A and B are shown apart, each in its own frame.
Chain A
Amino acid sequence: MIEIALQITLAMVTLAVVLNIYRLIKGPDAPDRILALDSLYINAIALIILLGMTLGSRMYIESALLIAVMGFVGTVALSKHLKRGSVIE
């Protein structure tokens, strides 16, 4: 059962990723793209977790944690860049 659930979830998250990419390409404005990227990062966490569950391996969890951290920093930096230009000052 878990197998099937994993497959279904994987399909749904993959679809979510495709939708993120759609928004990312469509825009129309920079904040939309950043939002899409942020969303993509979060969905990537789900993908990694699902991969770990599929493989029955816990060694990918830190990768997921790292995506969370890096996605956040990336989003913040991009947003600040839009507003302020200089990210670090």
Chain B
Amino acid sequence: MEIMFALVIGALTASGVYLILRARSFPVVVGLTMLSYAVNLFLFSTGRLATGAAPIIGHVENYTDPLPQALVLTAIVIGFAMTAFVVVLALRAHADAGDDHVDGRIDYEEPKQEETSSEEVK
């Protein structure tokens, strides 16, 4: 079970990282979501894996660690807020740059006009 779980987290992380390294905003956002899935699962599993041990007092005999669950819940909410923001920001960037490349227009990297040279120019 643990190996399986670790593999899942590994795959989610790898996929998220790969997507975040893409050049367009949409895959990056998808990658961030994927990475946050990985992180949430990871943080959740710091309390170790338990079956049928939900931390609801009185329902079972042994309880799993409730703290990571609370942390993950917080992380999910925050992650949602952040994802929402970055999605909207990606839209803004698309609207402003006319392109959904994460660096703006393709010609974004081209050097700007040479109007800023030194004092030599008079």
- By a beta-carbon cutoff of 8 Å, the part of chain A in contact with chain B is 55, 57, 59
Separation of A55 and B52 alpha carbons in the complex (Å): 6
- Say how far A28's CB is from chain B's closest CB, in angstroms: 22
- What 0/1 readout, one digit per residue, does chain B (21-51) give for beta carbons within 8 Å of chain A? 0000000000000000000000000000001
Question: Which secondary structure dominates chain A's binding surface?
Answer: loop
Listed by A's residue number, 9 A-B pairs whose Cβ atoms lie within 8 Å are A55-B51, A55-B52, A57-B52, A57-B54, A57-B59, A57-B60, A59-B54, A59-B56, A59-B59
A59 to B56, CA, bound (A): 9
B53 closest partner in A (C-beta): A55
Q: Which chain B residues (46-77) contact chain A, with CB distance < 8 Å?
A: 51-52, 54, 56, 59-60
Bound Cα distance A59, B52 (Å): 10
Distance of B55 from chain A, by nearest CB (Å): 11
The residues of B that contact A55 with a CB separation of less than 8 Å are 51-52
What B residues does A59 contact at CB under 8 A? Answer: 54, 56, 59
**Chain B residue at minimum C-beta to C-beta distance from A52:** B52
> Which residues of B lie under 8 Å from residue A57 when comparing CB positions?
52, 54, 59-60
- For the A-B complex with A57-B54, A57-B59 known, give 7 more contacts whose Cβ atoms are closer than 8 Å: A55-B51, A55-B52, A57-B52, A57-B60, A59-B54, A59-B56, A59-B59
